[in-house]
């Protein structure tokens, strides 16, 4: 019977607390439990030397195998190439990208290390599912070590247009590495199109009529698998959230005032400075709302050792101070900016209580906060989702109020429109959104990807 092997940079160990484990971890655990499984990745620890052999732990049917990384490996692979080269380029921020040969070599070295340490743990009947931009070359490394098992890769971030990707000095190698997999999954049709462009225009490959891709001497399936959320638990958490002390305190504090909420990792791709500026423009242009609505922005800090992240953190602190200094009253704070993270249960209550969900990334692979906000609403009196057209989620959530986050005036107008939206329109939009969230659930994403992987290898009919 086939066994699933999941490989990702971060590994969610069950004893690290169910509340902290995201929906992705839950969905993958379910698939791993079915026929027994292995989850392999970084331990989250930085040690004097990278591990010689993985730390193995067993939870029920699932084996967790994790590697520690040395300071140099972590700096070059994770902070360096993954988060200062690939991440900005994949999010269209070539102005923030930094390319050094050291970081690139470190990225390849850690991918080789992962492949070498994973290989002895693999069995013939395994299906291997690799996740995200940290591990693109892993498949190629495994093939080099003689692995013939089915290999799938899912990219959680956007895949950029060819003109942007080619800025990356190693772009061709990155695309070639993807061809080592049997199935490559993207979040949206635009990402897939960009991959096709690169394969056909830059790499002399072919997109075949049945959607298969031929290139670099291999045939693979490249397709769209939009990731979703685990809908049931989010609905249940939101419905019972009124019992939580945090929800009660929030309601008490905002009893006289409407609430807009944003929840994002503190990342420049999330468009937070633009969101703050749009909110400022909204307060300028619609003074009747002053004192009657606040924006609560939750932004837990992320990748804090990377200079661009230190910079955005400073910028947001200054912007938030500026807006509150300009508009606050002794009994009203326009912008609540929180650098903390909250448990899902708490967030479910915050989403449900907020009249507006603001999700305005400049670029995002999917954005699950948008889907969580929808799932947490009360269908009788739902809030309004204001959603960037540059989030992958915008392709499915077409009944959200879609905005261009660069158009500060347009966003300010959308916030005002959302606050004034009649109940019938809110209900109609929410019903459409909720049906899209249910259709594209996390289970559906996982099952459709694994079905495509099980159908591999793909051969070209002649
Ligand atoms: O969006 C890509 C992604 O890998 C997500 O899957 C994940 O939530 C996020 O980035 C986490 O980033 P990090 O592991 O750097 O904290």
Give 66-83 pLDDT, tens digit per residue: 999 999 999 999 999 999
Classify the C-alpha dihedral 307-310-314-319 as positive or negative: positive
d(CA 220, CA 130): 15
**Domain check: are 202 and 239 in the same one?**
no
Looking at ligand 1, which residue's alpha carbon is closest to its atom 7? 156
Number of domains in the chain: 2
Question: If you measure from the C-alpha of residue 24 to the centroid of ligand 1, how many angstroms do you get, rounded to a whole number?
Answer: 11
**Domain check: are 214 and 283 in the same one?**
no
Residue 461 lies in a domain: no
Q: Ligand 1 pocket: which of 7, 21, 93, 265 to mutate (most atoms <8 Å of CB)?
A: 265
CA distances for 17 relative to 9, 22, 43, 240, 301, angstroms = 18, 10, 15, 20, 20
**Domain check: are 305 and 361 in the same one?**
yes
| Ligand 1, atom nearest to 22 Cα | 8
Q: How confident is the model at residue 459 (pLDDT cuts 50, 70, 90)?
A: confident
Question: If you measure from the C-alpha of residue 60 to the centroid of ligand 1, how many angstroms do you get, rounded to a whole number?
Answer: 26
| Ligand 1, atom nearest to 9 Cα | 14
Residue 85 lies in a domain: yes
**Domain check: are 284 and 142 in the same one?**
no
CATH number at residue 299: 3.40.50.2000
Q: In the predicted model, is pLDDT for residue 201 greater than 90?
A: yes
Residue 460 lies in a domain: no
Q: In the predicted model, is pLDDT for residue 56 greater than 70?
A: yes
Looking at ligand 1, which residue's alpha carbon is closest to its atom 9? 265
Q: In the predicted model, is pLDDT for residue 461 greater than 80?
A: no
d(CA 215, CA 219): 7
Q: How confident is the model at residue 244 (pLDDT cuts 50, 70, 90)?
A: very high
**Domain check: are 219 and 261 in the same one?**
no
Taking residues 214-233, report their average pLDDT. 95
Predicted pLDDT of residue 209: 82
Predicted pLDDT of residue 17: 60
Looking at ligand 1, which residue's alpha carbon is closest to its atom 16? 302
| Ligand 1, atom nearest to 134 Cα | 4
* Residue recorded with tokens 């009919």: 461
- Mean pLDDT highest for which of 9-18, 29-38, 279-288? 279-288
| Ligand 1, atom nearest to 83 Cα | 15
β-pairing, 293-298 vs 258-263, is parallel
Question: If you measure from the C-alpha of residue 166 to the centroid of ligand 1, how many angstroms do you get, rounded to a whole number?
Answer: 23
pLDDT in tens, 390-415: 999 999 999 999 999 999 999 999 99
Question: If you measure from the C-alpha of residue 236 to the centroid of ligand 1, how many angstroms do you get, rounded to a whole number?
Answer: 25
Taking residues 193-210, report their average pLDDT. 93
Q: How many residues does the chain have?
A: 462
**Domain check: are 245 and 223 in the same one?**
no
Question: If you measure from the C-alpha of residue 42 to the centroid of ligand 1, how many angstroms do you get, rounded to a whole number?
Answer: 13
pLDDT in tens, 330-339: 999 999 999 9
**Domain check: are 217 and 243 in the same one?**
no
Instruction: Write the CB contacts of 301 (distance below 8 Å, at least 6 apart in sequence).
Output: 266, 309, 313, 339
Predicted pLDDT of residue 23: 63
Q: Ligand 1 pocket: which of 7, 8, 10, 78 to mutate (most atoms <8 Å of CB)?
A: 10
Question: If you measure from the C-alpha of residue 136 to the centroid of ligand 1, how many angstroms do you get, rounded to a whole number?
Answer: 15
Q: In the predicted model, is pLDDT for residue 341 greater than 60?
A: yes
d(CA 47, CA 70): 5
Lowest pLDDT segment from 32-36, 256-260, 302-306: 32-36
**Domain check: are 373 and 255 in the same one?**
yes
In terms of residue numbers, what domain contains 379?
231-439
Residue 462 lies in a domain: no
Looking at ligand 1, which residue's alpha carbon is closest to its atom 15? 303
Residue 80 lies in a domain: yes
Quick one: which of 7, 450, 14, 436 has its CA closest to 231?
436
CA distances for 80 relative to 102, 104, 199, angstroms = 9, 8, 26
**Domain check: are 109 and 238 in the same one?**
no
Residue 123 lies in a domain: yes
Question: If you measure from the C-alpha of residue 156 to the centroid of ligand 1, how many angstroms do you get, rounded to a whole number?
Answer: 8
Question: If you measure from the C-alpha of residue 88 to the centroid of ligand 1, how many angstroms do you get, rounded to a whole number?
Answer: 13
Looking at ligand 1, which residue's alpha carbon is closest to its atom 5? 156
Residue 448 lies in a domain: yes
Question: If you measure from the C-alpha of residue 304 to the centroid of ligand 1, how many angstroms do you get, rounded to a whole number?
Answer: 13
| Ligand 1, atom nearest to 303 Cα | 15
| Ligand 1, atom nearest to 132 Cα | 4
Burial class (CB in 10 A: 0-12, 13-18, 19+), 460: exposed
Q: What does pLDDT average to over the chain?
A: 95
Looking at ligand 1, which residue's alpha carbon is closest to its atom 14? 10
Looking at ligand 1, which residue's alpha carbon is closest to its atom 3? 156
Cβ proximity of 268 and 374 under 8 Å:
no
Query: For the whole prediction, is pTM greater than 0.85?
Result: yes
| Ligand 1, atom nearest to 24 Cα | 6
**Domain check: are 113 and 159 in the same one?**
yes
Active centre residues (catalytic): 156, 364
Cβ proximity of 45 and 77 under 8 Å:
no
Q: Ligand 1 pocket: which of 302, 304, 392 to mutate (most atoms <8 Å of CB)?
A: 302
Q: Ligand 1 pocket: which of 43, 156, 187 to mutate (most atoms <8 Å of CB)?
A: 156
**Domain check: are 369 and 221 in the same one?**
no
**Domain check: are 195 and 264 in the same one?**
no
Cβ proximity of 297 and 275 under 8 Å:
yes
Residue 252 lies in a domain: yes
Q: How confident is the model at residue 462 (pLDDT cuts 50, 70, 90)?
A: low
Q: How large is the angle between the packed helices 442-454 and 23-34, nearest 10 degrees?
A: 40
List pocket residues of ligand 1, CB cut-off 6 Å: 10, 132, 156-157, 302-303, 365
């Amino acid at each position: 019977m086939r066994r699933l092997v999941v490989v990702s940079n971060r590994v969610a160990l069950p004893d690290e607390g169910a509340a902290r484990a995201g929906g992705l971890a839950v969905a993958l655990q379910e698939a791993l439990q079915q026929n027994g499984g292995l989850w392999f990745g970084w331990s989250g620890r930085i040690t004097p030397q990278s591990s010689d052999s993985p730390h193995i732990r067993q939870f029920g049917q699932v084996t967790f195998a994790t590697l520690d990384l040395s300071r140099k490996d972590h700096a070059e692979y994770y902070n360096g190439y993954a988060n200062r080269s690939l991440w900005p380029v994949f999010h269209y921020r070539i102005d923030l990208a930094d390319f050094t040969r050291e970081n690139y070599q470190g990225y390849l070295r850690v991918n080789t290390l992962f492949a070498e340490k994973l290989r002895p743990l693999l069995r013939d009947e395994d299906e291997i599912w690799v996740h995200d931009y940290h591990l693109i070359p892993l498949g190629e490394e495994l093939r080099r070590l003689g692995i013939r098992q089915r290999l799938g890769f899912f990219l959680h971030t956007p895949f950029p247009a060819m003109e942007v990707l080619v800025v990356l000095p190693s772009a061709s190698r990155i695309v070639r590495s993807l061809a080592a997999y049997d199935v490559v999954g993207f979040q949206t049709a635009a990402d897939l199109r960009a991959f096709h462009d690169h394969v056909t225009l830059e790499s002399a490959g072919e997109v075949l009529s049945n959607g298969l891709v031929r290139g670099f001497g291999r045939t693979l399936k490249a397709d769209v698998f939009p990731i979703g959320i685990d809908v049931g638990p989010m609905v249940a958490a939101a419905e019972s959230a009124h019992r939580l002390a945090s929800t009660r305190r929030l309601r008490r504090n905002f009893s006289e005032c409407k609430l807009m909420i944003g929840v994002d990792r503190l990342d420049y791709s999330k468009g937070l400075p633009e969101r703050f500026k749009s909110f400022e423009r909204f307060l300028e242009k619609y003074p009747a709302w002053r004192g009657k609505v606040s924006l609560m922005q939750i932004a837990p800090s992320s990748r804090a050792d990377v200079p661009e992240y230190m910079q955005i953190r400073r910028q947001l602190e200054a912007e938030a101070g500026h807006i509150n200094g300009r508009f606050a009253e002794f009994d009203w704070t326009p912008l609540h900016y929180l650098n903390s993270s909250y448990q899902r249960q708490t967030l479910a209550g915050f989403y449900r209580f907020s009249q507006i969900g603001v999700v305005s990334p400049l670029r995002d692979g999917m954005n699950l906060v948008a889907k969580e906000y929808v799932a947490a609403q009360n269908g009788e009196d739902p809030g309004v989702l204001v959603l960037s057209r540059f989030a992958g989620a915008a392709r499915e959530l077409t009944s959200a109020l879609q905005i261009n986050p660069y158009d500060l005036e347009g966003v300010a107008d959308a916030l005002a429109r959302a606050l004034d939206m009649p109940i019938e329109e809110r209900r109609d939009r929410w019903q459409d959104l909720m049906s899209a969230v249910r259709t594209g659930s996390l289970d559906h994403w996982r099952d459709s990807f694994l079905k495509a992987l099980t159908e591999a290898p793909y051969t070209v009919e002649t």
